């Protein structure tokens, strides 16, 4: 998930049931790695793709409406650029209509491999700029791999070939996405 999502929590839960703690909070990338209090077995494990083709379709799985729905929502969009607006490496610029609850969700390309994790929307107060609607950024899979490497949980490289049907893409995206709740 994102550092911002768990930065000020006295308690963190996954899917409202399992307590978790922050194992790594990498403020430079915005990535927070959580450890559940008891072992979990997700239906899908993420496979990562470090590249990405500009103009490719993407889908972000996230809790757009936070805990109001029982499962993640898929938001479809496009990969616009493989760097930040000032050429910053490690970011991907996406064009999609994401909501705040989508931050921390995986961005998957048509084969179902993860190209990045959606970051919270930049606020004008923090950046001094108001970006156009639909402009969002994701931490690139290569950056996620760098943060995961020292933890002993390496990022699995993508092995899927060819685009998969939307229903299967939905199963992959939502199968690796969990509701993270922060309690004061």
Residue 122, pLDDT > 90, answer: no
Q: How far apart are CA 134 and CA 75, in angstroms?
A: 11
173: number of Cβ within 10 Å: 25
Q: How far apart are CA 129 and CA 93, in angstroms?
A: 16
Mean pLDDT within 163-183? 93
Residue 9, pLDDT > 80, answer: yes
Per-residue pLDDT, 127: 72
Residue 93 pLDDT level (bands cut at 50, 70, 90): very high
Per-residue pLDDT, 149: 92
Q: How far apart are CA 95 and CA 103, in angstroms?
A: 14
Edge-to-edge strand order for the sheet containing 11-14? 31-36, 18-26, 11-14, 180-183
Residue 2 pLDDT level (bands cut at 50, 70, 90): very high
Q: How far apart are CA 135 and CA 119, in angstroms?
A: 11
Q: What is the DSSP letter of 44?
A: -
Q: Of 166 and 3, which is predicted with more confidence?
A: 3
Question: What's the pLDDT tens digit per position in 60-88?
Answer: 999 999 999 999 999 999 999 999 999 99
Residue 128, pLDDT > 90, answer: no
Per-residue pLDDT, 123: 74
- Tell me the H-state helices in 56-165: 124-127, 141-148
Per-residue pLDDT, 160: 84
Residue 154 pLDDT level (bands cut at 50, 70, 90): confident
Mean pLDDT within 27-50? 92
Distances (CA, A) of 16 to 8, 92, 105, 128, 183: 17, 30, 17, 35, 10
Q: How far apart are CA 26 and CA 64, in angstroms?
A: 23
Residue 30, pLDDT > 80, answer: yes
Per-residue pLDDT, 138: 97
Pairing of strands 156-157, 47-48: parallel
């Amino acid at each position: 998930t994102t550092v911002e999502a768990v930065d000020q929590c006295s308690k963190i839960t996954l899917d409202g049931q399992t307590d978790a703690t922050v194992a790594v909070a990498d403020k430079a990338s915005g990535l927070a790695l959580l450890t559940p209090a008891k072992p979990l077995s997700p239906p899908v494990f993420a496979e990562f793709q470090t590249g990405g083709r500009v103009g490719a379709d993407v889908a972000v799985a996230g809790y757009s409406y936070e805990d109001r729905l029982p499962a993640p929502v898929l938001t479809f969009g496009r990969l616009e650029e493989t760097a930040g607006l000032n050429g910053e490496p490690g970011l991907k610029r996406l064009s999609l209509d994401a909501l705040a609850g989508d931050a921390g969700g995986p961005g998957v390309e048509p084969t179902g491999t993860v190209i990045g994790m959606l970051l919270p929307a930049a606020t004008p107060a923090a950046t001094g700029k108001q970006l156009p609607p639909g402009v969002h950024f994701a931490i690139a899979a290569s950056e996620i791999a760098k943060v995961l490497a020292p933890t002993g949980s390496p990022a699995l490289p993508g092995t899927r070939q060819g685009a998969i049907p939307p229903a299967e893409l939905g199963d992959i995206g939502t199968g690796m996405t969990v509701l993270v709740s922060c309690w004061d």
